[in-house]
Amino acid sequence: MRLSLSLSLCLLFTPAILSAASRNPADYPLRIHIFGRNQTTFYSMRSVDESKGDGRANLFENGEARGVDFNYSCSDKLRASFGYETYPAKWKKPGRELIVLMPVFGRSNAYWTCNLQTDVKSFAYATHNGRMNSEPVEAFKTWMVNHDYDPEHGKDVPTKREPSAAEAPPSAPPQQ
């Protein structure tokens, strides 16, 4: 009797466990930088029940950044990236739905997932002087190379690369 009850419970909960998204960052090969979002948060008994909204981000995939417009409905508040911070992500439905691994703030190595319905753009988003613009993917890639920035491979903070001798600008003419 106990064995059959235990087996029944395991079979009952197995689909829920299998359908749950992994919370292991190694399972999320992409990175997403969320510029901003608009959201409405719904509460139940003074606790967050659900957040719905939309926003803009850059998705880093295969060494390139592409702009993404998205909307979502999540169990917690979605936070914009701070500085150059990116979040791990993976495709649920390529080009249409992305699963993002969000950190639980205040707890290290704790995460929750949020699904974003996406519209991937042919350009990348960039901010200049506090204003958001779009620029060609190739121009953003050049900036990434020049600043040794590649969040897919752990280079999370852009730096100014020192030019090699072949790339060095010619010396200034002597002053008279």
User: Per residue in 109-146, pLDDT tens?
Assistant: 899 999 999 999 999 999 888 899 999 999 999 999 99
pLDDT at 13: 46
Go through the chain and tell me how many residues it has.
Answer: 176
pLDDT at 4: 53
pLDDT at 148: 94
pLDDT at 174: 44
Task: Assess contact for 91 and 97: CB atoms under 8 A.
Answer: yes
pLDDT at 171: 45
What single letter denotes the amino acid at residue 169?
Answer: P
Instruction: Tell me the C-alpha distance between 62 and 56, whole Å.
Output: 19
Domain extents for the chain? Answer: 22-153
Residue ranges of the chain with per-residue pLDDT less than 70: 1-20, 49, 161-176
pLDDT at 47: 75
Number of H helices, E strands in the chain: 2, 8
Per the DSSP assignment, residues forming a β-bridge with 156 are none
Q: pTM, whole model, 2 decimals?
A: 0.76
Instruction: Tell me the C-alpha distance between 116 and 96, whole Å.
Output: 8
The sign of the torsion formed by the CA atoms of 126, 127, 133, 139 equals: negative
The torsion defined by the Cα of 156, 157, 160 and 166, in degrees rounded to 10, comes to -10
pLDDT at 39: 75
Contacts of residue 63, defined as CB under 8 A and 6 or more positions apart, other chains included, come to 141, 144, 150, 152
